[in-house]
């Protein structure tokens, strides 16, 4: 018996580049950086005072006041993206018990947690909100999506830091392949433009500190990169059993054809030397898809704009595909690093590259580092016939996830 194929039939995003798929995609194609001085909080005392924030999202579009009060921004962004993806997928006609949710979160409801920690330390334990636990728990977004839709199938949270979004899509695909779900909303969300998160990432040297030039700060694979730019947002995709998608006449964007995941087991924040873990992860995904490296059209890179990630990922790409052998693109030059949402939002972008046969430019990639022997798409969009794409996400903790996403066929 052949294993079920997994179709992608709906896309939804809430991102710094736009809160609908069309705006998001045109911002990426325009090669525009979304980094700007932080607005949601006063960043005056922070070492890094810019980020890629979601400025167009209105919770009232999706929630009444009662629901909005009980949910952190991270869950609100998640449901917004999930609801949009569901609307895009059209009438599913699915049994709710066969519908699942897999949602990645990096830190959960950190905005609420910080507010309540302030209450604890300044006013005492009796002033801590009774809603703190359900608002801060990392699985809150997965729970909210399931509850709002009445979907009673598998529902869980993935917490593999920056790799979460890709893990969520891969694990969701496995639910469909194993036959335990017909439809799964898979994605990730993050909302940690908060004082503690900015301070902490800055203290470890992970963030760019181009406070005077935020637009130039996120520069994946560029020789002058100095760290990532904190982003926030959410991305969700509707994954569906291929045969049921075809029989209901759904629009199919493409297929989750392969999924690899492994662990560096090396260092809590630094990638394994030479990108060994990442290379093996991509090979696992290719094997799962039954494809050779030569059949891949381009790489949708993790490309965070940190010194270590970009060097290791470039080395890994060379190991798997050879030097300058295929185009590599990172969306993070435009939208920054959406942490657990990154892999999901970038998978949405990958489906759009396949649909329109065009790869957007890697924003701010001006001078390639001579040692990084990869072909980075930069400056302007590049036309490319639709072909399987490898989409990478790598997280603190050494968690790696690679997806092979293919055009509909």
* Stretch 70-109 residues interacting with other proteins (CB under 8 A): 70
Instruction: Find the angle CA(136)-CA(137)-CA(139) to the nearest 5 degrees.
Output: 135
Q: Which is nearer to other proteins, 132 or 296 (CB)?
A: 132
Give the list of residues 6+ apart from residue 147 with CB closer than 8 angstroms, or none.
Answer: none
Q: Is 308 exposed, middle or buried (0-12, 13-18, 19+ CB in 10 A)?
A: middle
* Shortest CB 116 distance to other proteins, Å: 10
Chain center to CA of 330: 12
Residue at token pair 């899509």:
169
* Shortest CB 54 distance to other proteins, Å: 25
Residues touching other proteins: how many (CB under 8 A)?
11
Q: Which is nearer to other proteins, 48 or 132 (CB)?
A: 132
Bridge partners of residue 263, in order along the sequence = 399
Question: Segment contacting other proteins (CB under 8 A): 33-41, 121-129, 151-159, 314-322?
Answer: 121-129
Active-site residue, from 167, 280, 302, 399: 302
Out of 131, 216, 373, 387, name the contact with other proteins by CB under 8 A.
Answer: 131
Q: Which is nearer to other proteins, 86 or 111 (CB)?
A: 111
Out of 2, 126, 247, 294, name the contact with other proteins by CB under 8 A.
Answer: 126
Cα(257)–Cα(174) distance, integer angstroms:
11
Active site residue 324: no
Q: Is 127 in the site for other proteins (CB under 8 A)?
A: yes
Q: Which is nearer to other proteins, 122 or 294 (CB)?
A: 122
- 327: how many CB neighbours lie within 10 A of its CB? 20
Tokens of 399: 């968690």
Give the list of residues 6+ apart from residue 133 with CB closer than 8 angstroms, or none.
Answer: none
* Stretch 49-68 residues interacting with other proteins (CB under 8 A): 64-66
DSSP run (H or E) holding 80: helix 73-89
DSSP secondary structure code for residue 116 in this structure: H
Q: Which is nearer to other proteins, 22 or 64 (CB)?
A: 64
Q: Which is nearer to other proteins, 93 or 130 (CB)?
A: 130
Out of 129, 211, 263, 269, name the contact with other proteins by CB under 8 A.
Answer: 129
Cα(318)–Cα(53) distance, integer angstroms:
33
Q: Which is nearer to other proteins, 24 or 63 (CB)?
A: 63
Tokens of 185: 């909303």
Sheet containing strand 99-105, strands side by side: 155-158, 99-105, 183-190, 233-241, 6-14, 254-263, 399-406, 389-395, 298-300, 327-329, 375-376
Give the list of residues 6+ apart from residue 117 with CB closer than 8 angstroms, or none.
Answer: none
* Shortest CB 67 distance to other proteins, Å: 9
* Shortest CB 119 distance to other proteins, Å: 9
Active-site residue, from 167, 280, 337, 399: 337
Chain center to CA of 309: 16
Out of 22, 91, 130, 247, name the contact with other proteins by CB under 8 A.
Answer: 130
Active-site residue, from 162, 167, 281, 399: 162
Q: Which is nearer to other proteins, 45 or 126 (CB)?
A: 126
Active site residue 157: no
Question: Segment contacting other proteins (CB under 8 A): 123-131, 224-232, 281-289, 301-309?
Answer: 123-131
* Shortest CB 129 distance to other proteins, Å: 5
Cα(183)–Cα(120) distance, integer angstroms:
42
Active site residue 280: no
* Shortest CB 14 distance to other proteins, Å: 23
* Shortest CB 64 distance to other proteins, Å: 5
Tokens of 352: 């759009």
* Shortest CB 146 distance to other proteins, Å: 18
Residue among 300, 253, 337 nearest 15 (CA): 337
| Catalytic site positions | 162, 302, 337
Q: Give contact residues for other proteins (rule: CB under 8 A).
A: 64-66, 69-70, 124, 126-127, 129-131
């Amino acid at each position: 018996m052949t294993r079920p194929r997994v179709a992608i039939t709906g896309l939804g995003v809430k991102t710094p580049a736009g809160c609908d798929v069309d705006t998001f995609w045109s911002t990426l194609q325009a090669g525009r950086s979304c980094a700007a001085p932080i607005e949601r909080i006063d960043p005056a005392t922070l070492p890094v005072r810019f980020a890629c924030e979601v400025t167009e999202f209105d919770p009232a579009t999706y929630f009444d006041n009662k629901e909005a009060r009980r949910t952190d921004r991270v869950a609100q962004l998640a449901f917004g993206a999930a609801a949009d993806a569901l609307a895009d997928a059209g009438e599913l006609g699915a049994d709710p018990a066969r519908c699942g949710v897999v949602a990645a979160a990096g830190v959960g409801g950190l905005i609420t947690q910080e507010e309540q920690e302030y209450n604890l330390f300044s006013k005492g334990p009796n002033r801590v909100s009774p809603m703190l636990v359900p608002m801060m728990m990392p699985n809150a977004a997965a729970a909210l999506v399931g509850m709002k839709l009445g979907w009673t199938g598998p529902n869980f949270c993935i917490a593999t830091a920056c790799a979460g979004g890709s893990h969520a899509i891969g694990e969701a695909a496995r639910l469909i392949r194993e036959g335990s779900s017909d439809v799964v909303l898979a994605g990730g969300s993050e909302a940690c433009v908060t004082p503690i998160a900015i301070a902490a990432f800055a203290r470890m040297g992970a963030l760019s500190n181009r406070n005077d030039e935020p637009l130039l700060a996120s520069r994946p694979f560029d020789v002058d990169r100095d760290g990532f730019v904190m982003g926030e947002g959410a991305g969700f995709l509707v994954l569906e059993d291929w045969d049921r998608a075809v029989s209901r006449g759904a629009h199919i964007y493409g297929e989750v054809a392969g999924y690899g995941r492994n662990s560096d087991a090396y260092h809590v924040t630094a990638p394994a030397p030479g990108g060994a873990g990442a290379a093996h992860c991509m090979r696992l995904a290719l094997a799962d898809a039954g494809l050779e490296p030569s059949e891949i059209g381009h790489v949708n890179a993790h490309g965070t704009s940190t010194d270590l990630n970009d060097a290791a990922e470039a080395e890994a790409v060379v190991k798997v595909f050879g030097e300058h052998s295929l185009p590599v693109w990172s969306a993070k030059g435009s939208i920054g690093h959406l942490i657990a949402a990154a892999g999901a939002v970038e998978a949405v972008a990958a489906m759009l590259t396949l649909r329109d046969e065009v790869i957007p430019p890697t924003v701010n990639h001006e001078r390639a580092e001579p040692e990084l022997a990869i072909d980075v798409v930069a400056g302007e969009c590049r036309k490319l016939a639709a072909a399987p794409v490898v989409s990478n996400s790598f997280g603190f903790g050494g968690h790696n996830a690679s997806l092979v996403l293919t055009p509909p066929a």
